[in-house]
Amino acid sequence: MTDSPATPHLTAAVRNNAAWCDAVCRSHGTGGTVEGDVWASALRTPPLYPDAVTLSPTATPDDVLPRIDLSSPGASVKDSFGTLDLSEAGFAVLFEARWIHRVAAEPAPPRAGGWEPVVGAERLRAWEAAWSGDGESEGLFRPALLDDGAVFLAPTATGPLTAATHPVTAGAIACPGAGAIGVSNLFAADDDLDAAWRSCLEATDRLWPGVPVVGYEHGDDLAAALRQGFEPVGPLRVWLRTDG
Q: Quick one: 131 and 156 in the same domain?
A: yes
Total structural domains in the chain? Answer: 2
How many CB atoms neighbour CB 80 within 10 A? 34
Q: Are residues 225 and 180 in the same domain?
A: yes
154 in the same domain as 85: no
80 vs 101: CA distance, rounded Å: 14
Cα Rg, the chain, nearest whole Å:
18
Statement to judge: residues 122 and 68 lie in one domain: no
Residue 133, in any domain of the structure: yes
Confidence at residue 166, expressed as pLDDT on a 0 to 100 scale? 66
Whether residue 237 contacts residue 93, with contact meaning beta carbons closer than 8 Å, is answered with yes
- The CATH number linked to 227 is 3.40.630.30
Residue 105 lies in a domain: no
What's the pLDDT at 158?
57
**Is residue 110 domain-resident?**
no
Q: Which residues contact 219 (CB under 8 A, 6 or more apart)?
A: none
The whole-number pLDDT of residue 130 equals 94
- Residue 189's SS3 state is coil
Q: Are residues 160 and 215 in the same domain?
A: yes
CA pair distance 79, 55, nearest whole angstrom: 9
Mean pLDDT for the chain overall = 92
The pair phi, psi for residue 73, each rounded to 5°, is -60, 160
Confidence of residue 244 (pLDDT cuts 50, 70, 90): low
Instruction: Let me know if residue 104 belongs to a domain.
Output: no
Q: Is residue 30 part of a domain?
A: yes
Secondary structure (3-state) at 47: coil
Residue 72's pLDDT is 86
Residue 109 lies in a domain: no
Q: What percent of the chain has pLDDT over 90?
A: 84
Model confidence at 2, in pLDDT bands (50, 70, 90)? Answer: very low
What is the spatial distance between Cα 53 and Cα 80, in angstroms, rounded to a whole number? 7
Query: What is the pLDDT confidence band of residue 178, given thresholds at 50, 70 and 90?
Result: very high
Question: Strand order of the sheet with strand 38-40?
Answer: 33-35, 38-40, 52-54, 76-79, 231-241, 91-102, 213-217, 180-188, 170-177, 151-155, 115-117
Domain enclosing residue 129, as ranges: 115-232
Average pLDDT rounded to a whole number, residues 130-139: 85
One domain for residues 56 and 138: no
Contact 127, 171 (CB under 8 A): yes
pTM score, two decimals? 0.93
Evaluate whether residue 198 is within a structural domain: yes
Average pLDDT over residues 64-80: 96
Judgement on whether residues 157 and 228 belong to the same structural domain of the protein: yes
Verify that 77 and 160 share a domain, yes or no: no
228 and 142 within one domain: yes
Residues 144 and 54 in one domain: no
Other CB atoms within 10 Å distance of the CB of residue 66 = 11
